[in-house]
Amino acid sequence: MSHAGSKLTIDTATVMYGVFGDPIAHSKSPLMLNRAFAEKGLNAAYAAFHIKPGTLRDAVNGIRALGFRGVNVTIPHKLEVMDYLDHVDEHALAIGAVNTIVNRDGKLTGYNTDGIGYVRSLKEEAHFAPKGKTVVLVGAGGAAKGIGYALIQEGVKKLIIANRTPDKAYDLAKDLQAWTETEGIPLTEIGSYLEDSELVVHTTRVGMHPHIHDIPFSPQHIHNQLLVSDIVYNPLDTRLLSEARLRGAKTHGGLGMFVYQGAYAFEYWTGLAAPVEAMREAVEASFAANNP
């Protein structure tokens, strides 16, 4: 039976969850995860917590003290939080960031579901199999590292990292070269690399609301054998994606990465398959309500 839309009743048996971030007011995670709990008929509730600098340690101890079952962690706390956990999963450790905490009888384990959420979205929505492919990542920050690492786990042949600040591209290429062939390049040189690639993943915030006319790189080298993937999901359709379509490329938007990183968190916490379509619908409905 679907409990979608049923009223949330909080009582003494309710299992508590949340998200820690700063800022946090625009997070779509509470409505997405509460919809997932309702859909599965679980007595659980998920709230947003504005955790300011210097208070993260106390907040994490609060998970233990209050018996929260799980917490998501977002900007700017994904690195620091690792210092306060009992265990960090090996993949999260390699990426150097935690976005999901699971509380097992007072012991906190940190995971990273961003990269694997991205890959699941790429497979399910764009039907793209990364194995053996040449991929260009645009950006060399935390998002690029998580996605690059997850793509490597899937067996990509070569990862090219293109970044505005070339040194950061070289550094990330070096970090990831233990697992596959990598190359760091200045963003200005992306054109010729796109010609030999099957997937380009844009991992920066260029083009995000309110700068919706910005584009991270010149689209002139986008070709019709390329899948263009943008992790920006506000707006759902970015300028990069529309320029890519004009050139006959396939496109993949960023909403799925958000939905699937939450789906993995739900699955780690509950052991149940996440109601992915209901979660996506909850986020889309919220966007539609905000942009009538």
Provide the minimum distance between the beta carbon of 203 and ligand ATR in the complex, in angstroms, as a whole number. 6
Binding mask of the shown chain, residues 151 to 190, with x at each position contacting ligand ATR by CB under 6 A = ------------xxx--x----------------------
Among the listed residues 78, 133, 168, 250, the single catalytic one is 78
Q: How many CB atoms lie within 10 A of CB 75?
A: 11
**Which of these ranges, 46-54, 111-119, 134-142, 190-198, lies near ligand ATR under the rule CB under 6 A?**
134-142
| CB-based contact 72:117 (threshold 8 Å) | no
| CB-based contact 69:94 (threshold 8 Å) | no
Helix (H, G, I), strand (E, B) or coil at 200: strand
| 22-81: contacts with ligand ATR (CB under 6 A) | none
Does the bond joining 23 to the residue before it have cis omega, within 30 degrees of 0?
Answer: yes
**Which of these ranges, 35-43, 142-150, 218-226, 258-266, lies near ligand ATR under the rule CB under 6 A?**
142-150
| CB-based contact 248:226 (threshold 8 Å) | no
| CB-based contact 286:28 (threshold 8 Å) | yes
| 112 near ligand ATR, rule: CB under 6 A | no
Pick 102 or 206: Cβ nearer ligand ATR: 206
Q: How far apart are CA 83 and CA 205, in angstroms?
A: 27
Provide the minimum distance between the beta carbon of 185 and ligand ATR in the complex, in angstroms, as a whole number. 13
Provide the minimum distance between the beta carbon of 101 and ligand ATR in the complex, in angstroms, as a whole number. 18
Q: How many CB atoms lie within 10 A of CB 153?
A: 16
Q: Is residue 50 within a helix (H) or strand (E), and if so which, with residue range?
A: strand 44-50
Provide the minimum distance between the beta carbon of 216 and ligand ATR in the complex, in angstroms, as a whole number. 6
Pick 144 or 201: Cβ nearer ligand ATR: 144
* Candidate list 36, 60, 140, 222; residue touching ligand ATR; CB under 6 A: 140
User: Is 28 labeled as catalytic in the residue annotation?
Assistant: no
Applying CB under 6 A, the site for ligand ATR has a residue count of: 14
- CA torsion sign for 188, 193, 198, 199 is negative
Q: How far apart are CA 80 and CA 77, in angstroms?
A: 6
* Candidate list 18, 139, 148, 275; residue touching ligand ATR; CB under 6 A: 139
| CB-based contact 255:55 (threshold 8 Å) | no
| 205-264: contacts with ligand ATR (CB under 6 A) | 206, 216
Provide the minimum distance between the beta carbon of 140 and ligand ATR in the complex, in angstroms, as a whole number. 4
Provide the minimum distance between the beta carbon of 162 and ligand ATR in the complex, in angstroms, as a whole number. 9
Pick 139 or 275: Cβ nearer ligand ATR: 139
Pick 216 or 256: Cβ nearer ligand ATR: 216
Give the DSSP letter string of 109-172: EEE--HHHHHHHHHHHHH----TT-EEEEE--SHHHHHHHHHHHHTT-SEEEEEESSHHHHHHH
Site residues (vs ligand ATR, CB under 6 A)? 139-144, 163-165, 168, 203-204, 206, 216
Active site residues: 78
